[in-house]
Structure 1
């Protein structure tokens, strides 16, 4: 599958979780517990997605486009802000004012980031990237997602080298913590791709 198809499927999955979280602001114990599980799924999906973009997509944008550095820097800046918010969500109690504020801020930030990627970066990238390179990039991102961190790591540098070393170490630790803490059950299924 090509890179943009892979990324679009991830975006649609994350947007679906966002819409469910926006609708599900109930206050009963069951509603809060369901909200916590869905927020954890969102944290996992967004963390994996951003790690894969940092490792593969943004470096490809830098290489392929004359304005690639500027586009990638802006995208990475948005992702860094998103990681900070994801970490606040992760460390706040579901239903608390801190949780709700971080979640609300993240939902706005994520929509802006997706809009930026899909409407400003992707069209330019698609114009210059050969189809065979786009397919190879998509395959590499899909494979890397299975090994990506499941938690935000805002202190991990966003460069591809750091993601391939520190990111993999963080991912291994995340997966052990997920298994030990029962968080593995909140891991979302891979999005459907055509």
Structure 2
């Protein structure tokens, strides 16, 4: 093996140390440049995924249909779950039903009334009130209480019938009378309402604003109003 001395390079030669430092610096710069390119590529992929995400193209009726399917699934999950999982699944069902109906009352029902569907909306509001009373009773009872299964089956029947009525009598009015762009805008507003809607229903309170007043603090009402108005451009 040829030594550094035989090659004319002394191990302690300052020039050799400078050369090695320079190569190390160049390698570090190259690594940083490569990392920056990879980060830019990831950012571009994220932007592309965001532009094509369902929430940017999904209209309000598609969203509500999807929520109905999730509600059906959750009912089945609660009915089949063991004791350890049942409480958490029921809590999830309570929240989804609460925010779903609040979003409809806040945004969808008024739009259908404007299209001449007041009678249809009034029928749906009555159904929602009955379901909300039963849901509150079940929430107070708890999943381990005697009679819970019987009342849960009744709630399931009422809620799924209500969803079917919405899909058959209410949603077509909104689909036929509202521009696609408006429906997409309403979907964004529904998502905003869902973020601030109560996680526990309050029977007998038909106004979504009053419902929020009984649940979260007033500050959330302000944020909810701002979020909905921002999405709808009011």
* Separation (CA, whole Å) in 2 of partners of 1:89 and 1:129: 37
Are 2:98 and 1:47 aligned? yes
Query: CA offset at residue 16 of structure 1?
Result: 0.8
Distance 1:141 1:91 in 2: 27
Using the alignment, how far apart are the partners of 1:14 and 1:95 within structure 2?
A: 21
The CA distance in 1 between the partners of 2:212 and 2:135, in whole Å, is 19
Q: Distance in 2 between matches of 1:115 and 1:3?
A: 16
**For the residues of structure 1 that align with 2:120 and 2:203, how far apart are their CA atoms?**
20
**DSSP-derived class of the 2:71 partner:** helix
Q: Is the aligned partner of 1:152 residue 2:222?
A: no
Structure 2: gaps (5+ residues): 1-57, 218-234
- On the 8 A contact 2:98/2:198 being kept in 1, the answer is yes
Shift of 1:154: 0.7
- SS at the partner of 1:60? helix
Question: Aligned pair 1:124/2:173, yes or no?
Answer: yes
User: TM-score w.r.t. structure 1 length?
Assistant: 0.77
Structure 1: stretches of 5+ with no match in the other structure: 25-30, 174-194
| Deviations 1:140-191 (CA, angstroms, capped at 9, x unpaired) | 11111000000011132x2xxx323x23323415xxxxxxxxxxxxxxxxxx
Name the structure 2 match of 1:92. 141
Of 160, 170, 180, 2:214 maps to: 170
Write the distance in 2 (CA, Å) between the matches of 1:167 and 1:81.
15
Is contact 2:86–2:143 with CA below 8 Å preserved after alignment? yes
Q: Shift of the alpha carbon at 1:10?
A: 1.3
Q: Retained in 1: the 8 A contact 2:112–2:173?
A: no
Distance 1:60 1:131 in 2: 14
- Structure 1 counterpart of 2:71, from 5, 9, 14: 14
After superposition, where does 1:125-140 map in structure 2 within 5 Å?
Answer: 125-140=174-189
Contact 1:43–1:86 (Cα < 8 Å) also in 2: yes
Cα distance, 1:58 vs structure 2: 0.8
Which residue of 2 is the match for residue 56 of structure 1? 107
Equivalent residue pairs, number:
161
Q: Distance in 1 between matches of 2:86 and 2:64?
A: 25
CA radius of gyration, larger in? 2
Give the match's secondary structure for 2:147: helix
Tell me which of the two structures has the higher relative contact order, counting C-alpha pairs closer than 8 angstroms and 6 or more residues apart: 1
